[in-house]
Amino acid sequence: MAGPMATQAAEPEQPSSFGGFSYHGTLSIGTTDMKPGPGIGFADVSFAVPLTSRVPLTFEFGTYLFSLDGKRPHETYGAFAWDSRYKLGALRPAYDAVLPSVFEDTAPFLAYSRAEYTRAYNTVEAMRRTAVPWGLSAEGSTGSLDWIVSVHDASKGSFRSASAALTWNGNSYRLMAAVESVWTRDNEHVATNSKVGGAYLFDGGEIGLAYLHPEANQRPDAVAWHMRVPLADRLGLDVMGEFTEDATDEAYGIAVDYSFKEFGKVTFAATDGALHPGLHATYTYKF
């Protein structure tokens, strides 16, 4: 559940609802001159259907999907939820609840190509190799602290994992951390992913910094940084980047977006780095 705990690309804190049916997420469509093709669609959505009016049992389903030229890499979710807190099924890993890619809002294809840096091993394996895990999760809040934990098992990928994420919400700041450990199905420990970061919030803008340790995803450690500054009532400027410790897989960019308020926003971005330079135009609608 990448909701109020995330700093970039955060979903609304309260899902929309209709007749007991609730939904929330992000839909984007755009174009990029980076390979593999000019067009891209992006979706990160969740829906919840009540199963009975007597107890708080729902069925939640959704997807984290990229529509590229010739392929549809995705992770599909479907789980039973009790009181929206305890879930069983193919569910979102706790690790993905905080500190998503700094490029997710501005250059979705770059976020997809660099998913190993910020997404859970679970998510990467599902998107890259269709290894879909099953699991259990629990989440809640205590004062200013939001927390979520999850455990998973994937027979196709032959792995098990456990992850946890925390967010401390201050008046003008947010501190976040997540960890994910991965084992074989014979219970031999493989590796650990972790990330820690924070964001300072100010008058319509924010500055964020995170340290990424994607060991299980076989990527070098990196520092991610982003800044958003409002330029006018509907106009915003974003600067973002991920910089690896060995300086071999950098990515950075700048973006300008125009908000249509309740009708979404359009973003124009220029990026560069190890992959190659790119220009991106994206329309995004959050609900």
Helix (H) or strand (E) holding 24: strand 21-32
> 281 — phi, psi (to 5°)?
-130, 125
The reported pLDDT for the residue numbered 125 is 95
For residues 116 and 214, is the Cβ–Cβ distance under 8 A? yes
Measured between alpha carbons, how far is 108 from 130 in angstroms, rounded to an integer?
20
The reported pLDDT for the residue numbered 3 is 39
- pTM of the full structure: 0.90
Task: State yes or no: cis peptide before 36, omega within 30 of 0.
Answer: yes
pLDDT, tens digit only, all 287 positions of the chain: 333 345 544 444 456 665 677 888 999 998 888 655 567 889 999 999 998 888 999 999 999 999 887 788 889 999 999 998 999 999 999 999 999 999 999 999 899 999 999 999 999 999 999 998 999 999 999 999 999 999 999 998 899 999 999 999 999 999 999 999 999 999 999 999 999 999 999 998 999 999 999 999 999 999 999 999 999 999 999 999 999 998 889 999 999 999 998 899 999 999 999 878 889 999 999 99
The reported pLDDT for the residue numbered 34 is 67
For residues 212 and 224, is the Cβ–Cβ distance under 8 A? yes
The reported pLDDT for the residue numbered 2 is 36
CATH fold of the domain at 16-286:
Porin (2.40.160)
Encoding tokens for residue 64? 């984290």
The reported pLDDT for the residue numbered 37 is 55
> 123 — phi, psi (to 5°)?
-65, -45
The domain locations on the chain are 16-286
For residues 193 and 219, is the Cβ–Cβ distance under 8 A? no
For residues 211 and 176, is the Cβ–Cβ distance under 8 A? no
The reported pLDDT for the residue numbered 18 is 57
